[in-house]
């Protein structure tokens, strides 16, 4: 038995995916830059 998916739910999922990707991609960039900061501060 399958549930029904509404367009509203699909739109809400897309919004969630976009938000998740934005946050995670920002985190990845932050960690990349942090490695340089860490080295510079430890030197």
Partner 1 sequence: MSNAATHDHHDDHHGAPKGFFQRWCMSTNHKDIGTLYLIFALTMFFIGGSFAMAIRAELFQPGLQLMQPYFFNEMTTLHALVMIFGAVMPAFVGLGNWMIPMMIGAPDMALPRMNNLSFWILPFAFTLLLSTLFMPGGSAAGGWTMLPPLSLQSSSLAFTVFAIHLMGISSIMGAINIIATILNLRAPGMELLKMPVFVWSWLITAFLLIAVMPVLAGAVTMLLTDKYFGTSFFNAAGGGDPVLYQHIFWFFGHPEVYIMILPAFGIISEVIPTFARKPIFGYKAMVFAIASIAFLSFIVWAHHMFTVGLPLGAEIFFMYATMLIAVPTGVKVFNWVATMWGSSMTFETPMLFAIAFVILFTIGGFSGLMLALVPADFQYHDTYFVVAHFHYVLVTGAIFAIISATYYWLPKWTGNMYSEFWGKMHFWNSVIWVNVLFFPQHFLGLAGMPRRIPDYNVAFASFNMVSSIGGFLFGASQLIFLGVLIHCAFFSKNKATDRVWEGAKGLEWTVPSPAPYHTFDVPPVIHDDELAHGNVNA
Binding mask 1-40 for partner 1 (x = CB under 8 A): xxxxxxxx----x--xx--xx--xx-xxxxxxxxxx-xx-
Output the smallest distance, CB 7 to partner 1, in A. 5
Output the smallest distance, CB 19 to partner 1, in A. 9
Rounded distance between C-alpha atoms, residue 38 and residue 34, angstroms? 6
Specify the DSSP class assigned to residue 16.
H
Rounded distance between C-alpha atoms, residue 17 and residue 39, angstroms? 33
Sign of CA dihedral 3, 6, 7, 8: negative
Q: Which residues bind partner 1 (CB under 8 A)?
A: 1-8, 13, 16-17, 20-21, 24-25, 27-36, 38-39, 42-43
């Amino acid at each position: 038995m399958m549930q029904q998916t509404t367009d509203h739910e699909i739109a809400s999922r897309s919004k969630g995916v976009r938000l998740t990707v934005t946050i995670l991609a920002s985190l990845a960039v932050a960690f990349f830059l942090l490695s340089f900061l860490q080295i510079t501060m430890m030197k």
